[in-house]
Amino acid sequence: MENTIGGLGEFALIRRVTGRFPATGDVILGPGDDAAVVAAPDGRTVATTDLLVEGRHFRRDWSTARDVGHRAVAQNYADVVAMGARPTGLLIGFAAPADLPLEWAEEFTLGVRDECAVAGGAVVGGDTVGSTVLTVAITALGDLQGRAPVRRDGARPGDVVAYCGHLGLSAAGLALLTAGTDGPAACLDEYRRPSPPYAAGPEAARLGATAMLDVSDGLAQDLGHVCRASGVGIDLDPGLLRPAPELVEAVRILGGGPARASAFMVSGGEDHALAATFPEGTDLPDHWHRIGRVLPAAEGERHVTVAGRVPERTGWDHFPGE
């Protein structure tokens, strides 16, 4: 058992993770007591949680342990910055079979460390438990720095819709892996290690974003949440949905054409780009790409359309077969 996770003990893995982080101004009291103490300079704390279940969210034959560590941080901190906040802390729940190689767990913690070095924040605690299914649960915290949170219910008719980050690459990467086909590294890398535009969340808040969210389940599906919360419709301009060259190449390898590239951008997921609405006339930096407009909508019409038509697929299904 000495080379497996089962030989570590309940808190040993978490101690190893937290030991890899230097002290930060956000962490008043780190691991060692029943709970950590994290500063909330703003007086409010943004909090979110997410699960990664082996076989559902990742496969060890497709992703390394470091990949999973990067992904665990990225998909949670993307939600924090989508509120306009700055990442401050993470708590990790790690449930694993007792025979999971210790090397895998160690590599996972290095992925967590490396992604936190990009995003900010630090691991402040967590727990380890035995399980038949390898599962990672993350709780992420953030600081609004005195700004109002950017919610989903603030979009207004006339606002422009824009995104920052990548759209479609991760979904194409998953399709390539599923097909057993190699393809552009950018697509495979984005699936294995999403790269949210962390700085763009607080930036959008400063620019006056009226609504914002993380694109995790697909652009159309996620913007649909904005439509329902804000009581509006959103129409995307297909002429502004310009696929990256790597996405075009991946689609060619998969035997598709331009329509499939657009479908990956509209209905794919797990790129963890940010999508936001801004008042007309907002001077957006070049890394924010305008793709549509917010429209008035009656009850029953609060959905996303592409050139006036509802897309056939809208995104990720959390409960397939149900």
Q: Which residues carry a binding-site annotation? A: 34, 48-50, 57, 79, 126-127, 152, 214, 216-217, 270, 316
Phi-psi map region of 92: left, alpha, beta (phi>0 left; psi -120 to 50 alpha): beta
Q: Determine the Cα–Cα distance for residues 92 and 71; give it in Å rounded to an integer.
A: 13
Tokens 């969340």 map to which residue? 201
| Spatial contact of 76 and 162, defined as CB atoms under 8 Å apart | no
> Binding site residues for substrate, as ranges?
57, 270, 316
> Binding site residues for ATP, as ranges?
126-127, 152, 216
> Binding site residues for Mg(2+), as ranges?
34, 48-50, 79, 127, 214, 217
Q: Determine the Cα–Cα distance for residues 252 and 247; give it in Å rounded to an integer.
A: 9
Beta strands 289-296 and 273-278, pairing class? unpaired
Give residues with Cβ within 8 angstroms of 257, minimum separation 6.
251
- Helix 245-253 vs helix 185-192: crossing angle, to nearest 10: 100
Q: Determine the Cα–Cα distance for residues 31 and 28; give it in Å rounded to an integer.
A: 10
| Spatial contact of 35 and 77, defined as CB atoms under 8 Å apart | no
Tokens 């592409």 map to which residue? 306
β-bridge partners, 135: 53, 95
Tokens of 185: 């590294």
Phi-psi map region of 126: left, alpha, beta (phi>0 left; psi -120 to 50 alpha): left
End-to-end CA distance of the chain: 39
Minimal CA–CA distance to 11: which of 91, 90, 129, 97?
129
